[in-house]
Structure 1
């Protein structure tokens, strides 16, 4: 199977509220009011944590049949340490991103713990979001400047 190009288009809507769209699905992303937003959606960093938790949940579920594990219940809690002063440029010594991300997987199954442990290890290796965060990826950012004058 050939490589796929995944796409997302993010458009500024109002204030700090943006709309992210992929394959016709839309998500509102915003900042809390104390950060200048309108608190109408998750922040980008919360969305990143949610993407990791969602990806792990889906990957665990996809591989569970191959491991002969019947999952009765599955929940993934994800939390990260983040210093907003770094992202806002107020502390030049603080990172702009997470310094650590912790994942706690709650799984209910009758399968032996050793098999569940192997399933979780496989999911951590095969989850695309986890892989991207663990190993990094180059980002090639370009911009286009629209110099059209918009009259009211």
Structure 2
């Protein structure tokens, strides 16, 4: 008898902030350090909060991309990522409230596997349908462009 996975789960996290910029967040048996660079008063021990959000898009694209490739029977090999973000910092600088602070994200994904350009396009289309972080950005009004190419 197969075990049916839950479709909605509760995720629990906890954290502790030791300064205005440095905090450690825990989930499961893991910890994530979030901090600001020295020039913004931090200790540079981790990604900034916004950098952490951007990194989540890379991680989700990688995980969902590989799941979709496996489902399609496509060899994408290892993936490399280059990302550029247009970030309107007026909100974090407390100058004014900004509804869509992440104006645009351009993510280039390069696959090392044997997949053809057509197969990569299939994987990209499926990944776009299922990547939760990409959907979050798009639904918030961010222009997200993800391009997949072969190495």
SS at structure 1 position matched to 2:23: strand
SS at structure 2 position matched to 1:70: coil
Q: Distance in 2 between matches of 1:88 and 1:96?
A: 14
Structure 1 residue 95 displacement after superposition: 5.9
SS at structure 2 position matched to 1:39: coil
What is residue 118 of structure 2 aligned with on the other side? 114
What is residue 84 of structure 1 aligned with on the other side? 89
Report the TM-score when normalising by structure 2: 0.79
What is residue 72 of structure 2 aligned with on the other side? 67
| Greater Cα radius of gyration, structure 1 or 2 | 1
Report the TM-score when normalising by structure 1: 0.79
2:12 corresponds to 1:41? no
Deviates more, 1:109-118 or 1:29-38: 109-118
> When the two structures are aligned, how many residues end up with a matched partner?
135
2:22 corresponds to 1:17? yes
Q: Distance in 2 between matches of 1:62 and 1:52?
A: 15
Cα RMSD after superposing both structures: 1.9
2:149 corresponds to 1:133? no
**Residue of 5, 11, 25 corresponding to 2:10:** 5
